[in-house]
Amino acid sequence: MTGRLYGVGVGPGDPELVTVKAARLIREADVVVFHSARHGRSVARRVAEPYLREGQVEEQLVYPVTTEDSDDYQGEMDAFYEECAERLARHLDAGRDVVVLAAGDPFFYGSYMHLHKRLAHRYPAEVVPGVTSVSAGAAVIGRPLVERDEVLTVLPGTLPVDALVEHLSGGDPVAVVKLGRTFPNVREALEKTGRLDEAWYVERATTGGQRTSPLSEVDADTVPYFSLALLPSSDRRRASVSASGVGEVVVVGLGPAGPEWLTPEARRALVEADDLVGYVTYLNRVTASPRQRVHASDNKVESERAAFALDLARRGRRVAVVSSGDPGVFAMAGAVLEVAEEEQFADVPVRVLPGLTAAHAVASRVGAPLGHDYCVVSLSDRLKPWEVIAGRLEAAAAADLVLAIYNPASRSRTWQVEAARDLLLRHRSPDTPVVVGRDVGGPQEDVRVLRLADLDPSTVDMRCLLLIGSTQTRLTDRGTVFTPRRYPG
């Protein structure tokens, strides 16, 4: 007869959170096993101490390394677990029951699982679950972790920053464990995704050394390994629709590209929405949670898209309509508000959340070309005649305004850039600085500064934005472009 192997979770730190079964097995065991670093202190043993009895054999498994700085970390740890497994096998072969203590839960980032893999096929084995640090963390900050159809993501802080950003961008609740030295990377990822203000810091939950605070207030030098970051369920996400049963439409500006260009306010609106509505290319930039419905459409159906979103809200849904850049600049805010004037949508609330618009993004890449008065014009003649566009370009040029030109060209509109250039050359020097920005903030970003006379329409497409300088705009020797704040005279 061999002994039995037990992996026993002892919870996050408070001995009173050990389950009745775990306490019984610890008390009855012939051998009690616990892990520690070289300093010899074991969180799991300290928690289990009230349940130990005299005469038990204690086996202390001391990690050979406690960080991954070793040249062969995985090799050293594999050898360690093999040696530990054989130590426990000798007790089991002698008929002794062995309890391996695990802080939290044995199968939740626990060391026990490495012994289980090596021994459970050779001996009778049982795993006794314990309260995880994540559950304890939510309890001590007094915030629901998840509810309804929200999805909880648990991340190890050891992931690279880019991977953390990818997972944090979804907006649902998140727990990040294994902080300690990884804390600066976790904080950086929270800042990049605009979620820092949502995050709580929990240290040594349920113990005498417990500490909780907003994560933004934590000094990285004070963070131990036994701590975690929590982004719990949002109060706003749980908010119900109004008593009338009507939801709302929020028109959200995504900025020109990437999660770092999205405001925290816009991110919250995306997280809280039941439905995401928008042009498919822009929706692809939003990480939807499994509970959300995504409604993608073509780029030329703004009014239909607006009516669809308003109808969803009228039936009690919280709807986010997404736009690239700022939704009020040649984007979906105008379309939604136009359709919202129709009688059937009179009771549907509509909010507009600003975003970083493309003109400002492109300008920032070269300096301050918009540092003085400027005018914003779209070259698209799909909704207004070219004669109106030409008249506005003429007026802006005569007034010596810097121009930010949106929607300069597309597959079906190929001549407007040339026409606009020739019109402006009647008022501006051929040497006037022109900034051509394409996919600014995206993976194919390209920003060029050239002379107005050298603007080649064949190099401009719908993903470009043009900035045309005034008579005062300067291109410096260092390659920056700016328009002085003082106008001559």
Residue 489 resides in a domain? no
Residue 280's CATH number: 3.40.1010.10
Q: Is the pLDDT of residue 353 over 50?
A: yes
Residues 349 and 369 in one domain: no
Averaged pLDDT, 156-164: 94
Averaged pLDDT, 409-426: 91
Residues 305 and 365 in one domain: no
Count, in order, helices (H) and strands (E) of the chain.
Answer: 15, 23
**What tokens does 407 get?**
């929607």
Boundary-marking domain end, from 87, 108, 130:
130
Residues 249 and 288 in one domain: yes
Residues 141 and 211 in one domain: yes
Q: Is the pTM for the entire model greater than 0.75?
A: no
Q: How high is the pLDDT of residue 158?
A: 93
Boundary-marking domain end, from 175, 208, 236:
236
The number of beta carbons lying within 10 Å of the beta carbon of residue 56 is: 15
| Number of domains comprising the chain | 4
Residues 35 and 125 in one domain: yes
Residue 487 resides in a domain? no
Q: Is the pLDDT of residue 458 over 50?
A: yes
pLDDT digits (tens, 9 = 90+) for 106-146: 999 999 999 999 999 999 999 999 999 999 999 999 989 98
Among 461, 262, 452, smallest CA distance to 369 is for 452
Gyration radius (Cα) of the chain, Å:
31
**How many angstroms separate the CA atoms of 204 and 225, rounded?**
9
Among 147, 242, 224, 153, smallest CA distance to 189 is for 153
pLDDT digits (tens, 9 = 90+) for 175-220: 999 999 999 999 999 998 888 988 999 999 999 999 999 999 999 9
Residues 346 and 375 in one domain: no
Residue 419's CATH number: 3.30.950.10
Residues 15 and 109 in one domain: yes
Residue 307 resides in a domain? yes
Query: Which structural domain, as residue segments, surrounds residue 220?
Result: 135-236
Q: How confident is the model at residue 391 (pLDDT cuts 50, 70, 90)?
A: very high
Q: How high is the pLDDT of residue 388?
A: 96
pLDDT digits (tens, 9 = 90+) for 232-282: 987 544 444 555 577 999 999 999 887 778 888 898 888 889 899 999 999
